[in-house]
Every structure is written in structure tokens, then in C-alpha cells.
Chain A
Amino acid sequence: MDFRLTADQSALQEAIDKLAAQFEAKPTEFRGFALRGDELDKELTDGQYFDIAQVPELGALGAAMAVERLARLPYATEIALSMLVRPQLAGEWPRPLAMVENGRPGRFVAAASTILVIEGEGISLVRTDASDVEPVESLFAYPMGRWKGRGERTPLSGERSANVRKWLRIALAAEASGLSQAALASAVDHLTQRKQFGRPLGTFQALRHRMAECAVLAGGVRWLALKAADTADPGDAALAALHAQEGATRIVYDVHQMLGAMGMTLEHPLHLWTYRLKALLSELGGRGGQALAVAEQCFGR
């Protein structure tokens, strides 16, 4: 156990920070639900960042660090599944990836080249093109899409399905960690600048304590996500995803409460993080689904 970054991990972090710098702010004029990060996607592709997990010195932990950092940006880009799940798929499955659970609209589905179709316990892979998918208007801050159910399905064995599900959980936790931290940072900005009763809102203890509790939750999610990425243990993955969804439920509500009506506008960027977190809440069976996995993996049920 050693939590100091290795030289390679530090170098990765620096490179990603540098790349992220140009995408830190929402374009002033943007008033939409999801801010697509096509430019960011291109930069990541050109820099071969989607292959981080295959670099022995970085591995899945390096990829999770990258996912977590990039999720803090206001841009919605298909990063987590490409960095953390795609390396687990045998054969050529081009990115972007998307997940369709029980026929529901999913994140990035309309632009996906590969879809992971989850039906009950089973997972199949499908190569798609534009005619198989369609965009769906949504409040969620991801580009959402619907798969028309067409294309040849390649079912994964039970063992492979379980492995993919594990990495989907780790991807979810890493992404939720970054989103939670960015949502909190956005609320901290507001509480620092906005004055009522003659002083900044952030000086009122009723709000400070709620924010501090959220910060503790978000920090815990980060540790569990990074640990799961490093150990690749299915119990760790389930715990990380559960804590991520549990933390996000609380954090999303609280940060919106901090922002008041300002957080209801599309002018303020808060929803670009909170409405991505909300999209993650239902995935992989939601908290109930993660809890069953925890019971199976950690309580030997």
C-alpha cells in the first residue's frame, strides 16, 4: 500500500491536466442540456489516451485516474467505457462504446460504434451504425440515444459478462467521482460569491456542514473507485459503484439546494455535472443492483 503517485502516474496526471485546461469552462453562450466534447474526444484519440490501461506502468488505475479527472470537465465525452471496459473485450470492438440496459435509452448510444446490450444477467456486444440508433431528447447532460434492436449480437459467456459488468461498475464509480467533485466545486464557487444577509452564503454553518458531508462522500467514492481499478476485485467494484450512486443521490440534491434558482437555469453549468450524475444513478440496477452484488461478493450470499 503506497498512495504516492509513481513518476508515470504523475506524468499522466500532468499531461491530462494540460489537455483538460482548454476544456475547463462551459462556452458562455451554451444553453443546452448536454455539452458534447467532440474536440476533447479528438485530442484524447490523437494522444492515444484511450489506451492508457494497456500501458503496463499505468494500467487500469491510471485509466481510472484519467476518467475521474476528465469527468470534472463540463463536456460529456465517451471516455469511461473506452478507457476501462473496452480493454476487457476480446476482439475488435471499435469505440465509442455505449450501454443499453433492458431497452432503455442510454448515454452516447446515438454515436456508438459498439453497444453493450444488457438483458437480465446476460451481456451481448453489437456493432452498430447510424441507421441502428437514433438520438433522444433528454434532460440528462449526456447525449442520449436509443438502439433500435438491430444488428448481430455476440453474446458473452457468463464469466466474461461478469467481468464486463465489474469493469462497468468501476467505470461508473470513476466517472461519478469526478462529476461529484466538479459539482461540489461549482457549488463552492456560488457559495463563496453569492451574498445574502450581508455575507457570503458559504459562511452559514447550515450550508457549510451539508457541503462538508458531501465532500466526505465524494472523497470516499474516489478512494473506492481507484482501489477497485487497481485490484480489479468484483467486491471492490460493487462497493465503489454502490457508494458512488449513494453519494451522488445526496450530492446532487444538496448542491442544487445550494445554488437555488440559479442551479435551475441552463445558463449555469451545474446541471452539466448533476444531470450526468443523475443518469448514472439508474445504471447497472441502481443501488439495489449494486447491493445485491455486494451481498454476493462481500457477504458470500
Chain B
Amino acid sequence: MHFAWDPDQQTFRSTVRAFLSANLPSDWESLAHGPASEAQSAFSKRFCGKLAEAGLLVPHWPKRWGGRDAGAWTAFILAEEMWEAGEPRGGQYMNVNWIGPTLMRFGSEEQQARYIPPMARGETIWCQGFSEPEAGSDLASLRTRAEKHGSSYRINGQKIWTSYAQHADTCFLLARTTPGRDGISVLLVPMDTPGIIVREIPSLIGEGDIHEVFWDNVEVPGSALLGAEGQAWEIARGALSLERVGIPRFALAAKMLHRAVSMLERSGRFGHGAIEQAAKARAACEAARFYSYSIIDQREHGIATGPEASAARFATVMAERAVHEFVVEHVPEALSGGEAMLLAHHQRAIVAGIASGAAEIQLNLIATDLLKLPREPR
């Protein structure tokens, strides 16, 4: 065990930083305000194209798919720098982190050839059709049906909280092909298929972020099925484990904490109470960082990640909470027309414990699998 960065890792981080400073426009921070907004989605497509040309979009993917087999540390260093900069990749981080790798593992040759190259070129946006009005944390109770009609599936139902849906080209959709827990399947559905209606839900968390998606007799060919019928849990488990420690939220949180502290210091407002609160928030960010690093290190070395991934996620939630509460208390002007990036951080931080699944589910997993407490009765 050692905590120093290897020279390769340092060089790679410098490369990414140099790319960001050369390619982010001077007004980038005001744009980063809405990660799924019209303006940022358009920007992100151009930006991801440039990243791809520079070999910085999917370096951790296999060579066959446009990467260079660079490993989990490279992917995470890249993610840290991107997230700290306000995530200029927009929704494409999902392609890079888990949708691409999931298709590489479970996709048919046709699906891989159709969907992976555009991801590697930075040309396409995906959304994930998981949550439903009656199926959030209890995802297994989802009702959206995909019924076989000849060689096609006919999809009916409703998804909700779908990020990036308005601009997405394709949906990674969970739908029920037969009753019961094992009756859920994954379908890859082009969002321009007739019968899909997307409605934005105005929210606290930024323009264009969350949506309802209605599926009204949406017909897709049988070739839209990913893997086998009923294989959704197996597919989703792998995908969610990549997603759980996929966003280095602590990186932007720590940066915004420093920015808030600098603002307070400049105006002579960094007094005793603020110091203690800021220091605790900083410690929480560092704890989340090294928790997350420990998971990345396991991935790098092919070690199966266990319940520590849930602990890393929860540590990140605590760090986000500590930082955004610090800002609200000491730099409240951030929410009233002040610094755009502090506002953008606030809007991302408040969903840290909600997006990609309620953090309380992680606490259940930690209690059972890490602490080995007896299970709750069902």
C-alpha cells in the first residue's frame, strides 16, 4: 500500500488538465449551470468529439472499441478532472462509465457495431429508463411492459426522473417481459421511435435535468433486447456497481469549498464557526476521495468490489452535504444570483443521496454486508 501517485498517473492528469484549459471557453462556468440544458448538451457533443480525437474520451476501453486498455485509475482520474471542471461531458459520462462497457459485455455483435462506435466518437447521448412512478428504490416492482408481438416488442408504460431524456438518442430501458422479479429485461430503444413522449419536470436541480417519459405502444424489433429476456438484474448489477463509484463528486465539492472559503477570506468573514465547519467539510471530502480510490484500486487490479462501494457512495453523500450546507450558511448569495458554479454545485449536491438510487439502500447494504448485521424481515 502506498498513497503517492505514480508518474504515469500524474502525467495523465496533467494531460487532461491541459486539454481542459485549452478547450473550455471562458464563459464555461455559466454554461455548466444546467448539465442537461439545450446549451450544455450542444456544447458537450462538440467537446466530447474533441476529447475523442485527443484520445481522452474512452482511454480505459479496449483497443477494439477505440480505447487503449488504460485501466480503472485512468478512467477515474479523467472523471475527477471532468467533474471538478463541472462535467463538460454532460450526460455522455454515462456512456463512458457504464453503458459502453455493459454493451461490450452483453451486447450482440449488431448492437455493439451500431451503438459503441458513436459513443467512442462522442456523438451520442443516452438516457436510462429505470425509475417509474410506482417503482423507485423498489425497482423490481416496475410495471412498464414489453410484450412480444411476432418478432417485435410492444412497449407500454411510464418512466420518471429520466435525466437527459430530451436530448437522448437512445434509452437503456428496463421493462417487464414476464411477471415476477425475473421477468425484467433490458431493451435498447432509439428515442425517436414513434409513441415515446418526453416531458420535462421543472426542478430545483437545473434546466432540462429530469423528465417523465411515456411509452405508448412503442414498437421495437426483437434485436433491441440486450442479453436474454429476464437478464436485467444481472446486467443492471454490473452497471450500477460502475455507476455507484462513477462520479467523483468529492472533487467538485472540495473545489467549491475552497472557492467559498476564499470568498469569505477576501471579505473578512472566515471566522471561527466557519473555520470549523469548513475544515470538517474538507475532511469529509478527503474521506470520500480515499474511500472511492480504494474501490478504483480494486477495479484496477481485478478484485471484485464488495460492500465498500456502498460505503464509498455514502461517504460521498456526506461530503456533498457538508459542503453545500457550508455554502448555504456562509455564502448564501450563491443561491441568489451569485457565483454560477457555486449554484451549479448546490444543484448537483442536493441530489447526491438520491440520484442513482436512494442512499438509504446503501445503508441497508452496509448494515448487512459490511457490518454483518442480521437481515431485516421481508
Binding site for B on A (CB under 8 A): 1-6, 9, 61, 184, 188, 191-192, 199-200, 202-205, 208-209, 211-213, 215-217, 219-221, 223-224, 226-227, 230-231, 236, 238-240, 242-243, 246, 287-288, 290-292, 294-295, 298-299, 301
B261:A299 contact, CB within 8 angstroms? yes
A/B interface sample: 15 pairs, CB < 8 A: A1-B73, A3-B297, A192-B374, A203-B374, A216-B315, A217-B287, A219-B311, A226-B3, A242-B283, A243-B287, A287-B276, A291-B280, A292-B275, A299-B258, A299-B265
- 6 new A-B contacts at CB < 8 Å, known A211-B371, A246-B280: A1-B4, A6-B1, A219-B311, A242-B283, A295-B279, A301-B270
Q: How many chain B residues have a CB neighbour from A under 8 Å?
A: 51
A221-B287, A224-B286, A288-B276 given; A216·B311 CB < 8 A: yes
Binding-face segment, B132-140, B151-159, B215-223, B358-366: B358-366
B372:A215 contact, CB within 8 angstroms? no
A208-B364, A298-B282 given; A2·B297 CB < 8 A: yes
Give the total number of A-B pairs whose CB atoms are below 8 A apart.
163
A211-B373, A219-B291 given; A295·B278 CB < 8 A: yes
B3:A231 contact, CB within 8 angstroms? yes
Q: Which residues in A have their C-beta under 8 angstroms from that of B308?
A: 219
Which of B272, B280, B293, B370 is the one whose CB lies under 8 Å from A242? B280
B377 at the interface (CB under 8 A from A): yes
Within 8 A of A (CB), among B322-378: 360, 362-364, 366-368, 370-377
Q: Which residues in B have their C-beta under 8 angstroms from that of A1?
A: 2-6, 9, 73, 293, 297
* Cβ-closest 3 pairs across A and B: A220-B287, A291-B279, A294-B279
B210 at the interface (CB under 8 A from A): no
For residue A16, give the distance in angstroms from its CB to the closest CB of chain B: 15
Q: Which residues in A have their C-beta under 8 angstroms from that of B287?
A: 217, 219-221, 223-224, 243
Q: Which residues in A have their C-beta under 8 angstroms from that of B368?
A: 208
B279:A242 contact, CB within 8 angstroms? yes
Q: Which residues in A have their C-beta under 8 angstroms from that of B293?
A: 1, 3
A1-B73, A213-B314, A219-B291 given; A61·B1 CB < 8 A: yes
